[in-house]
Structure 1
């Protein structure tokens, strides 16, 4: 039986996905992420041996599911790697509720990346129901911290990937439905300015504003953006009282480059900004880094050729390209393990209050994943 002919049903899949979307799971709320992992574990338990791996570093835990196979533990298989954390805080459902309008369905995390994760689970479920045995053993690993750079689970992902021959990552599809065959490098930085407090009304001139200094640094940092390396500041925290000149300001910055050498140069430029000016100290410390995953690995391209043939049978042309917006595929691809990323659903508005998917793509992507699971050997 051709896997694309399995009885995938978009309405049934959306009904199964709804509880996942309505279980909000922002990265920094470990209890919320664990509630989401409970739902995923329950949906996987009927067909796989499920483990709950405790969280660390203040993050939620993981779910690892191994599906029955005569070669499980005996030879490398296929790893499906996805994250269950989202960027949306608790309460986002009040303004972005799960809502379907024709072929569009809205909800926090529905595109990035619960929709793709659910399509992967459904692909495995339908294969098992049909009595089809994948050529290779399959493991699913859902993690809790990708949206902040995977600080607590990178080593686990890499260890699991090393046991496998292929890695599939159901992150959101490209706009044209294409997949990712390489990703740019990303580095994060923690920034701090240290000023001098004073009363903002009575002794303003005695103070040295950490906020003002940080504002100037933000402009300087973002002005370093060029064609080979980008710089942006996305988080800033400072101040408690408006009548007090701020003494400390914290911020977070991100730099991205297509080549590792360009990222390394960008990191050096960021670190060189440290120092004292006008009585305010500026500190830069390295955060997590995602290495370049070059789109030139033969194993990945062979996987891509298989995926293109499956897509043709489904009825669409599958393109592949490198892109930014790092994922855990950076790690596995950089390790030299054949990796296909962006196998998840089509949609738009990820990380916004307009996040949505095309409902019909749930079936398309489940067919694509099922096809890969049956043809990779």
Structure 2
């Protein structure tokens, strides 16, 4: 699977990989369909019938952050008990684990104890704009959602994730000659600079909130008082209450320089995945299964988001980080512990067998 590259913005390559994965699930008895996306790869849905009517959603993604051709620079390899290659940890090993768990239950238990829907979206790494409605639609009839994103260090599961907001701030001033009549200009870069300082001060570690101005642009020439400047802002929040508070604060920003104007766009892109009582219950079930496998399972939280944020926000019990154990997500040294893959597949299979 790693050799079949699937960059988020390369629809032909992602579609090729999605069809390959779909064929594997179809060969296992899944009813496979594809939800078309115009700009991104199609989203794959595979449905398996179980002995009970209860349905579980296994959620993941097929896209990776790596551009086409990366596999020629870093071919897939296994050395020292670790698998390396672009996308191996995030999250092609997770797709493998889904197949391993379903296959094990079909062979050992002679069938699935519950109905299972496998949903692999193609745009998770770039915001899930084309797949969010598909994810929410498939999740609603499900008793629980298990997300096969990579684990936290040491194999810990994710019981909370921060939500993400993306905002664009534009400062509009007035151009003027920097040497002849600068007093007639309104410096948009000066305005955006003052706004950036205000934004950075909104970070609140106690609330678990971070505000990062990651991109700044402005001006045209050094001898022109800049008429426009812009900043792109990333915010991370731990609760919907905090999301609403931060959205109001950012949209309430006002110009600091006489004659300047501000334009503010953006919103919360992904709601936070909060550590609810139902999430804790699912984790405790996972701990119970892990104990039978001789595994001491832990939990944790992360500032990164996944499509599990969407399902959790719907009120559907969601447990994340059930994917591979490894490290280096989005890094050139990305790796997976292959010796632990059977353990993780057994953990997922055990969860699918538990009464929820």
TM-score of the superposition, structure 2-length normalised? 0.86
- Secondary structure of 1:21's partner? coil
State the shift of 1:239 in Å. Answer: 8.0
Q: How does 1:177-326 map to 2 (within 5 A)?
A: 177-194=155-172, 214=192, 217-227=195-205, 228=207, 229-235=209-215, 251-273=231-253, 275=255, 277=257, 281-298=261-278, 300-326=279-305
Residue aligned with 2:63, SS: coil
Query: What is the SS of the residue equivalent to 1:164?
Result: coil
2:90 and 2:291 map into 1 onto residues whose CA distance is: 25
Contact kept, 8 Å, 2:106 with 2:112, in 1: the verdict is no
Structure 2 unaligned blocks of 5 or more: none
Paired position in structure 2 for 1:10: none
The answer on 1:54 being equivalent to 2:36 is yes
- Distance change (3 Å), C-alpha of 1:232 and 1:165: same
Closer, same or farther in 2 for the Cα pair 1:372/1:95, shift >3 Å?
same
Are 2:3 and 2:71, in contact at CA under 8 Å, matched by a contact in 1?
A: yes
Alpha-carbon shift at residue 160 of structure 1 (Å): 0.9
Gaps of 5+ in 1: 1-19
CA distance in 1 between counterparts of 2:143 and 2:35 reads: 22
Of 12, 15, 27, the match for 2:8: 27
Specify the alignment match of 1:8 in structure 2. Answer: none
The offset of 1:25, in angstroms, is 2.3
- 2:64 is aligned, of 86, 96, 114, to 86
Give the corresponding residue for 2:46.
65
Shift, 1:285, TM fit:
1.0
Distance 1:124 1:355, change over 3 A: same
Deviations 1:130-166 (A, max 9, x none): 4522221011001122223322222221111111111
- Distance change in 2, residues 1:270/1:366 (3 Å): same
Q: 1:196 to 1:54 in 2, by over 3 A?
A: farther
Q: Is residue 2:315 matched to residue 1:369?
A: no
Contact kept, 8 Å, 1:49 with 1:65, in 2: the verdict is: yes
Match of 2:98 in 1: 120
Post-superposition Cα deviations, 1:246-283, rounded to whole Å, max 9, x if no partner, equal 76555532211223222222222222235474765442
Moved more, 122-131 or 161-170: 122-131
Q: Structure 1 residue 374: deviation in Å?
A: 2.0
Are the structure 2 counterparts of residues 318 and 210 from structure 1 closer, same or farther at C-alpha, using a change threshold of 3 Å?
A: same
SS class of match (1:32): helix
Give the superposition deviation at 1:210. Answer: 5.9
1:347 maps onto 2:326 in alignment: yes
Rounded to whole Å, the distance in 2 between the matches of 1:46 and 1:102 is 32
Query: How many residues are aligned here?
Result: 352
CA distance in 2, matches of 1:32, 1:111: 19
When residues 191 and 372 of structure 1 are mapped into structure 2, their CA distance, relative to the original with a 3 A threshold, is: same
Q: How far apart in 2 are the matches of 1:258 and 1:279?
A: 37
CA distance, structure 1, for counterparts of residue 331 and residue 181 of structure 2:
39
1:220 deviates by 4.0
Q: Do 1:116 and 1:365's aligned partners in 2 also have CA atoms closer than 8 Å?
A: no
Superimposed CA distance per residue, residues 194-225 of structure 1 (whole angstroms, 9 cap, x where no aligned partner): 4667899x999698776676566445423421
Change (3 A) 1:98 1:261: same
Q: Match of 2:110, SS?
A: coil
Distance 2:167 2:256 in 1: 18
For the 8 Å contact 1:77–1:163, the answer to whether it is kept is yes
Equivalent pair of 1:188/1:255 in contact (CA under 8 Å): yes
